[in-house]
Amino acid sequence: MGLYDALNKEQKKAVCQVEGPLLILAGAGSGKTRVLTHRIAYMIDEMGISPWNILAITFTNKAAGEMRERVDRMVEFGADQVWVLTFHSACLRILRRHIDRLGFDNGFAIYDTDDQKAVIKTVCKHLNIDTKAYKERTLLGAISSAKDELISVEEYAMKAQGDYSKAVYAKVYREYQDTLKKNNALDFDDIIVKTVELFKACPEILDSYQERFRYICVDEYQDTNTAQFELVRMLAGKYRNLCVVGDDDQSIYKFRGANIKNILDFEQHFPDAVVIKLEQNYRSTQSILDAANAVIGNNVGRKDKSLWTSKGSGDRIHFRQFDNAYEEAEYIARDIVKKTKNGNASYGECAVLFRTNAQARLLEERMIMEGIPYNVVGGTNFYSRMEVKDVLAYLKTIDNARDDVAVKRIINVPKRGIGNATLDKLDAYAFAEGTSLYGAMEVAKSVDALSKVAGKIRPFVELIAEARRHSTEMTVAELIRYLLEQLNYAEYLEEYDSDSAEDRMENVEELIAKAISYWENAESPSLTGFLEDVALVADIDTVEDGDNRVLLMTLHSAKGLEFPYVYLSGMEDGLFPSFMSIASDDVTDLEEERRLAYVGITRAMEDLTMTCAKSRMTHGEIQYNAISRFVREIPSDLMDEVVPTPKKKIDFADDYLGFDTRPRATVRPKVTAQADKPFIAKGIGSLNQLAGISKGVPAQTDTEIHYAVGDRVKHIKFGEGTVLGLVREPRDYKVTVDFDNAGQKIMYASFAKLKKI
């Protein structure tokens, strides 16, 4: 057991528990990747299990690559037979072999977000749907949510009966799926959904993979959605040797369809499951862990665990509040400069985390002013750049001519004089004949309705046909260079924008470098494989190790990373947690925000700084926010600066806003408790409007109420509570109530129907 001596007691227990269902609750920084890789090595070396029978699934290419490397180092023979892949990569391997059973060609295309948007635009046009009334992004979101929950087109249509809007969504969903099928394409959700469909439609194929993968490990299980859960359940259904590893306290992707119940209810689905908690943290100091434990302990929907470390207490958490966001950004930048000049840190050891992308701008400006090298994670993805997408669209068309989205993108790149009228004719013919756009182009010469446009499109068709012939004998890199030469693409970029042409060609060269690397490292390199590899790249996979730059990123992007020095900026109620989560009737929304705070805190290894601003420009208006409740949930003895405590009775202008914003002659309202809603400054007029709530007596509106600030009231759903605030609006009152059991809620009086008690 020499290989396993470095593991702690609980880690060893998890490694040796091989048979049957196993839930490993792995707290942040508890060495879960070490456990997973040692477990695979133990199964092969100690238990004699064939590597062929092991499947390890994770979420990002980066995590899969790291696990792959560790397994290869630990297992001398047969490691390459273990599938260590992301969900999507594993499903793609299966679909490439068997999707013809579902009526697709095996060389199907994978559509990214931009491709999906192009399809939905075409769908809305065909169905004459007003995209002002039904936003394209909303329609795509509804389709994605349906797929996450494995709701088919037919089931969606059944549920939509009697609801006009839902019926429109159902029509769009059906047409969207039909278009993808016609284009021989899948979107990212389909990759999982179609695999589940395949297993349900073809039990013999499911059985073959159940026999193949008798031992299954799933990492980051808290991030799985319903479709992924069903996929795993089906694969593990025969032998039930399923090990899932995750941390319910780090479930932060509800907006992407993640279902925290998958991990919370694991023991209900597998009553005989063994549960092992990994609570020893190897990343952070005890002060940081105590802060994280204190915050997450306020959540109800979680499994009990508490992180600890043998590293020692370390420095206390730094808290700083500033008058505005400019001062906050200035402090963070100068503090980083100070750390690097003192030799305490390098730039690459520092990360600045924030709740929303909009916060990055001020931080970037300060980094530039201080001469700090930095990268913004989650900015424009390399593969989303115009010139890269152009080249990829050509490669997609060569690989799969049924991909109408790719064809439409490049038909005039470079310009060929093919206008919308020509495309409309081709599109109409393709739609009527049930063929692809490129298919219509190929036969245009022999079709009366298209014969006039055949001359314009012939050079394009001939170029693709010739490139397709070359693709069987060229590497992807050689094929790209061939295309660039045939298209005079460098010249096209000069005409498009001479100022950016050089940078854009550098990006194309970078794509060629990627193609060379792929060809050298892939087991069976192909054009299809390259396009598949590119399609599965995530933002965080592009973060380079050893790059000595400060990283600026959202809290969601930071998951899975760690840094010696972390700055959590914008720690304000209304920003983090967001106002939507504070005002939501669903308590799980606020709990997800708290889990996000927990993730942010536990990214720090040695030093954690939390900052906030009293005022911040948001949507063109100055917004005044209170200090985040997540900061207040941290015990004061863990902080190096006292966090101001809100008084039971505060002066709204001075204490809540942080400074007096109005002339002394203005009536200044008194509020008995700090409202959850952030205050939006729209000028003196709006501030004076609040004067009506002074002494709890509101001004005249169309709604009559019979209670005031401080009164006890009763709500039909939330029960009894105390009125904290009343804000007069043109036709109603906005009422803030602290309910005894439901907590603080903000509602309109006419809907709330509160009764004074």
Q: Which residues of 620-646 are buried (b: 16+ CB within 10 A; e: fewer)?
A: eebbbbbbbbbbbebeeebbeeebeee
115, 136, 220, 606: which is the annotated catalytic residue?
Answer: 220
3-state secondary structure 446-482: HCHHHCCCHHHHHHHHHHHHHHHHHHCCCCHHHHHHH
Here the tokens at position 36 are 């997973």
Tell me the C-alpha distance between 562 and 606, whole Å.
10
148, 219, 249, 330: which is the annotated catalytic residue?
Answer: 219
603, 629, 668, 728: which is the annotated catalytic residue?
Answer: 603
Here the tokens at position 589 are 């929304």
What is the 8-class DSSP label of residue 615? Answer: E
* Those residues with Cβ within 8 angstroms of residue 324's Cβ, 6 or more apart along the chain or in another chain: 613, 614, 615, 616
Using a 10 angstrom Cβ sphere, with 0-12 exposed, 13-18 middle and 19 or more buried, the burial of residue 37 is buried
- For this structure, is 309 an active site residue? no
* Those residues with Cβ within 8 angstroms of residue 108's Cβ, 6 or more apart along the chain or in another chain: 95, 99, 184, 185, 186, 400
Helices (H), 127-184: 136-148, 153-159, 164-182
- For this structure, is 311 an active site residue? no
Per-position DSSP letters for 195-227, written without gaps between them:
HHHHHHH-HHHHHHHHHH-SEEEESSGGG--HH
**Does an H or E element contain 626, and which?**
none
250, 309, 321, 422: which is the annotated catalytic residue?
Answer: 250
- For this structure, is 277 an active site residue? no
Tell me the C-alpha distance between 747 and 582, whole Å.
12
10, 11, 12, 32: which is the annotated catalytic residue?
Answer: 32
Beta-carbon count within 10 A of 78 CB: 13
> C-alpha distances in angstroms, 43 versus 8, 33, 165, 605?
18, 15, 53, 32
3-state secondary structure 410-428: HCCCCCCCCCHHHHHHHHH
Q: Does residue 271 have a cis bond before it (omega within 30 degrees)?
A: no
Q: Tokens 């970029």 identify what position?
A: 493
Residue 406's region, left for phi above 0, alpha for psi from -120 to 50, else beta, is alpha
17, 33, 475, 722: which is the annotated catalytic residue?
Answer: 33
Nearest residue to 581 via CA among 592, 571, 570, 595: 592
Here the tokens at position 262 are 């998958």
- For this structure, is 285 an active site residue? no
Per-position DSSP letters for 283-320, written without gaps between them:
SS-HHHHHHHHHHHTT-SSS-----B-SS---SPBEEE
Can you state the angle between helices 527-535 and 501-521, rounded to 10 degrees? Answer: 110
Q: E strands within 433-583?
A: 550-554, 563-568
- For this structure, is 603 an active site residue? yes
- For this structure, is 220 an active site residue? yes
Question: Catalytic amino acids?
Answer: 32-33, 219-220, 250, 603
